[in-house]
Amino acid sequence: MHSLPSPSRPRNRLLNALPPEELEQLWPRLEPVDLNLRAVVQAPAKPMQAVHFIESGWCSMVATLENGDSAEVGIIGLEGMIGLPLLLDDELDDLEGMVQSPGTAFRMAAPAFREALDELPGFARLLRRYSLVHHGQVARTAACNGRHLLNHRLARWLLMAHDRSEDDIVPVTHEFLAMMLGVRRAGVTVAASALQKSGLIRYASGRVTITDRPGLEAASCECYHVVRRAEERLFEPRRDAN
């Protein structure tokens, strides 16, 4: 665990988008924490004790079925926050938030978070807008997984992971990709091979290297661009800001 420095602009885009006076009021309530690989930040069906604003790395929001099968329904990185039920006046969720790429986050205890929502209108307004953006990502993921070819879905997933990564390397195995996309490992192997033969990625030893970002965007379905535009719109200056 780290000691908290004096107020500065955080990397998390939600916190960074706040007016300086609101960020200054939030700062004493934020605790820097490490996000270790495969750590569970949000446990399903358990009361949430805190929210997490991602500073680096990223987490998968995972739905698990009764038979044990799992699939990813969303990705959260430095653009977002884990713990949306607390924003929506609840403390339970059936989704698991698991760290896929290690990094850091700011943790805010649930009582302090609720107080901040009441005290800081800009903070509450921004997070409500973010909840809609994240809902759109989850809904688009469901539509994409149900309608689009695996090659396109894999390209979309790699682009979303790349957006939240520190470099062009995404550490992930075929087995894990299969679980995240809700398909068989053999299907992921075929799709990854097709992207590699096209020169868009390079895969070896549990790592995917993005070698042609524009080409990968062209190989993806429209779902990636729809979600990305919504995320960027969230951080554009508001016309009613004044």
Structural domains of the chain sorted by starting position, each given as residue range(s) with its CATH number in brackets? 13-144 (2.60.120.10), 149-220 (1.10.10.10)
Tokens 């009764």 belong to which residue? 66
Q: Which residues contact 143 (CB under 8 A, 6 or more apart)?
A: 223
Average pLDDT over residues 171-185: 87
Residue whose C-alpha is closest to residue 59's, from 94, 95, 86, 97: 97
End-to-end CA distance of the chain: 39
E strand or H helix that includes residue 113 = helix 110-119
* C-beta neighbour count of 139 within 10 angstroms: 13
The CA-atom distances, in angstroms, between 46 and each of 51, 88, 91, 186 are 13, 16, 8, 34
pLDDT at 159 over 50: yes
The answer to whether 206 and 173 are in contact (CB under 8 A) is yes
Supply 74's token pair.
């969303």
Least confident of 99-108, 126-135, 193-202, 232-241: 232-241
CA–CA gap between residue 66 and residue 211 (Å, rounded): 38
The answer to whether 181 and 157 are in contact (CB under 8 A) is yes
User: Is residue 55 very low, low, confident or very high in pLDDT (cuts 50, 70, 90)?
Assistant: very high
pLDDT at 53 over 50: yes
Tokens 């986050």 belong to which residue? 105
- Predicted confidence at residue 219, as pLDDT, reads 96
Longest dimension (CA), the chain: 54
The answer to whether 110 and 49 are in contact (CB under 8 A) is yes
Beta bridge partners of residue 170, listed in sequence order? 208
- Predicted confidence at residue 237, as pLDDT, reads 77
Average pLDDT over residues 41-67: 95
pLDDT tens digit sequence for 77-130:
999 999 999 999 999 999 999 999 999 999 999 999 999 999 999 999 999 999
